[in-house]
Amino acid sequence: MNRTGLLERTFEVSSLTNKRTYSFVCNLDTNVSRWSKNAVEYFGLPGEYIYDANAVWEEHIHREDLENYREAYEAFWRDGLESQSFEYRARNKKGEYVLCTCKCVILKGGQGEPDLFAGTIINHKIYEGIDPVTNLHNNKGFIEMLNDIIHMGQKAAVMKLAINGFSQLNAMYGYEYGNRVLLCFAEAVKKMIAGSGEMYRIDGAKFAVVLLDCTDEAEISRLYEKIEWMAGHEIKIKNITIPLSTSGSALVLGEAYNSAEFVKSCLSFALSQSKRERHGELMFFRERTGDDVRNLKIISTIHQCIREDFRGFYLCYQPIVDAGTERIVGAEALLRWRGEEYGNVPPGVFVPYLEVDTAFYELGNWIIRTALRDAVEMRRTLPDFILNINIAASQLERREFREAITTAVEESGFPPENLFIELTERCRHLDYDFLRRELDYFHSKGMKVSIDDFGTGSSSLSLLKELPFDELKIDMSFIREIQENAADQAIVGAVMHCANNLQVKSCLEGVEDGMLSQYLKKFNATYYQGYHYSKPVEAEAFLELIRKE
């Protein structure tokens, strides 16, 4: 092999070589190839110069991908193709399989005859478009795929999958163990859809599946049933079966779905229904008309605004008053959004969607930072000012959340003992052991934890028994008609008696007028909140309120 000549001609592909991309060139006369040093090191190859490299490389390819690789490789030579791409999993020197894409070409010599076989191999484990845990394309790839399909008007179905209770599994066994479960799940589903679609890891334990040329809901349902059964019976770690449960949503693309973000919003909404109302049953989102479509288009626009530096979002603050003096002592931070086309959009239109979407994590961190910044200013007027911030399950489940909120508090200079973290309704679905660890962590940093809308949904007195909460916020549905409703009186009386005996602070929401506030005195609550004191207002207007106190 002419090493000098090869080195000179390697320049044609050397520009592609970096930490995640490797080059190779093979002399077709001698069947000797040269490989980049990074490839030799990463995959544990025999050396930079290899005789019959294809046979050596096949030993690294995952056995489940080997047949497809051989077929594509043989077709490249048989059909006289000028270039070809292969995708497969290859084993590195640590024994790990990583997703690779090989792009190869034929380089011709002076006589116009094939002389060199050259190419590059992209290692997706360190490629930004690939999830390193599962070797699947990530959310970015999913969005690109959806937009391409929509633009071309191609027939397709899209499914969103979630592994239920995954945060508890991580908490119990550790993230390395959880990552192995995700990998097993991803590989099993990808095998099911081989040749008919693509799978993506969206975030956490959520995945998307795109089924090309599929419009049959019955076929989609059968696939989901197979995935459900597999998750419950076939995920094994060290020969131990890990029974998982899933939730799922799906839709068949049509004219109404005009953007990837709109599709994601529809799938997220249907997935939340699958989790909350159907015990994991696959929920189809079908094209709707009127207000439903308008709301979903708003949500699609809001998704875009999150990526554009939270354009249109702002916070309002509703006073929290001392129940004895009825003077303002703090505020609850509430998310709002306004857009040029839609104006001010009620939070009930978009917050329920966003709370179950992965996009909410970054938005939630923005809420925390913004509220703390505003609260520091409010403390200049009220030194003992307390701040309540709502936290969704999609935030609490993220392992980065602890550091995110702790850093935000430290950087703001706001006293952590004056911060109440309000856990929203879906947080109560989380495992009690997991919640206890999170509450203990927040307490160790000086923060306090509140249960929002106590008495509704999954909330029960067992929460008070099992978990060290600092505050109960009694839902306004128990307060509005309490003067006439004996059941509301009995329930609120019992909850307040329990809270006071346990030395847990309490806040009665929905105090709309002076007569109601006076009636509620007998329940001995700590705080009141409601329109009687003020509707939610922006930071400047809130500052005016407390300056008048």
Tens of pLDDT along 5-26?
Answer: 554 554 444 444 466 788 888 8
Whether residue 109 lies inside any domain: the answer is yes
Rounded Cα distance between 376 and 318, Å, is 16
452, burial (CB in 10 Å: exposed 0-12, middle 13-18, buried 19+): buried
Q: What is the pLDDT of residue 18?
A: 60
Residue of higher predicted confidence among 324 and 424: 324
Comparing CA positions, the residue from 102, 10, 122 lying closest to residue 58 is 102
Predicted model pTM: 0.62
Rounded Cα distance between 386 and 372, Å, is 10
Lowest mean pLDDT among 124-128, 267-271, 475-479: 124-128
Residue of higher predicted confidence among 332 and 352: 332
Using one digit for the tens of pLDDT, what is the confidence trace for 494-519? Answer: 889 988 888 999 999 999 999 999 99
- Maximum CA pair distance of the chain? 100
Across all residues in the chain, what is the average pLDDT? Answer: 85
The CATH number of residue 115's host domain is 3.30.450.20
Q: What is the pLDDT of residue 6?
A: 52
Rounded Cα distance between 158 and 268, Å, is 12
> Does pLDDT of 426 surpass 80?
no
Residue position matching structure tokens 């909120």: 405
Q: What is the pLDDT of residue 519?
A: 94
Return the ∠ at Cα 240 (arms to 237 and 244), rounded to 5°.
75
Q: Tell whether 468 and 385 lie within a shared domain.
A: yes
Q: Tell whether 270 and 192 lie within a shared domain.
A: yes
Whether residue 470 lies inside any domain: the answer is yes
373, burial (CB in 10 Å: exposed 0-12, middle 13-18, buried 19+): middle
- What token pair was written down for 132? 């390193």
Q: What single-letter DSSP state applies at residue 383?
A: T
Q: Tell whether 529 and 403 lie within a shared domain.
A: yes
Residue of higher predicted confidence among 248 and 453: 248
196, burial (CB in 10 Å: exposed 0-12, middle 13-18, buried 19+): middle
Q: What is the pLDDT of residue 289?
A: 44
Integer angstrom CA distances of residue 368 from 344, 358, 390, 414, 541: 21, 17, 9, 11, 19
- Please answer whether residues 267 and 158 qualify as being in contact, where contact means their C-beta atoms are separated by less than 8 angstroms: yes
Rounded Cα distance between 123 and 127, Å, is 7
Using one digit for the tens of pLDDT, what is the confidence trace for 90-138? Answer: 999 888 888 888 888 888 766 667 778 888 888 877 666 778 788 888 8
Lowest mean pLDDT among 19-23, 310-314, 391-395, 526-530: 19-23
Q: Tell whether 242 and 318 lie within a shared domain.
A: no
Q: Tell whether 379 and 442 lie within a shared domain.
A: yes
Whether residue 101 lies inside any domain: the answer is yes
**3-state secondary structure labels for all residues of 47-102:** CCEEECHHHHHHCCECHHHHHHHHHHHHHHHHCCCCEEEEEEEEECCCCCEEEEEE
Domain finish residue from 93, 126, 159: 126
Domain finish residue from 287, 321, 351: 287
Rounded Cα distance between 267 and 282, Å, is 11
Using one digit for the tens of pLDDT, what is the confidence trace for 191-237? Answer: 999 888 899 998 888 999 999 989 899 999 999 999 999 999 888 88
The CATH number of residue 204's host domain is 3.30.70.270
Whether residue 265 lies inside any domain: the answer is yes
Boundaries of domain holding 28? 3-126
Q: Tell whether 251 and 115 lie within a shared domain.
A: no
Q: Tell me the pLDDT band of 263, cut-offs 50, 70 and 90.
A: confident
Q: What is the pLDDT of residue 68?
A: 82
**Over residues 154-175, mean pLDDT:** 83
> Does pLDDT of 301 surpass 80?
yes
Helix, strand, coil in percent for the chain, rounding step 5: 45, 25, 30
Q: Tell whether 66 and 95 lie within a shared domain.
A: yes
End-to-end Cα spacing for the chain: 89
Length of the chain: 549
Q: What is the pLDDT of residue 299?
A: 76
Domain finish residue from 255, 287, 319: 287
Q: What is the pLDDT of residue 275?
A: 82
Q: What is the pLDDT of residue 510?
A: 92
For 443, the enclosing helix (H) or strand (E) is helix 432-444
Total number of domains in the chain: 3
- Please answer whether residues 330 and 414 qualify as being in contact, where contact means their C-beta atoms are separated by less than 8 angstroms: no
- Please answer whether residues 421 and 452 qualify as being in contact, where contact means their C-beta atoms are separated by less than 8 angstroms: no
Rounded Cα distance between 409 and 504, Å, is 23
- Please answer whether residues 204 and 183 qualify as being in contact, where contact means their C-beta atoms are separated by less than 8 angstroms: no
The pairing of beta strand 197-203 with beta strand 156-163: unpaired
The CATH number of residue 376's host domain is 3.20.20.450
The pairing of beta strand 97-108 with beta strand 114-123: antiparallel
Facing residues of 321 across strands?
Answer: 328, 528
DSSP codes, 257-287: --SHHHHHHHHHHHHHHHHHTSTT--EE---
Q: What is the pLDDT of residue 442?
A: 95
Whether residue 295 lies inside any domain: the answer is no
Q: What angle, 0 to 180 degrees and rounded to 10, lies between the N-to-C axes of helices 291-307 and 347-355? A: 60
Integer angstrom CA distances of residue 25 from 13, 103, 317: 9, 12, 64
**Over residues 335-339, mean pLDDT:** 92
Q: Tell whether 393 and 491 lie within a shared domain.
A: yes
Q: Tell whether 150 and 115 lie within a shared domain.
A: no
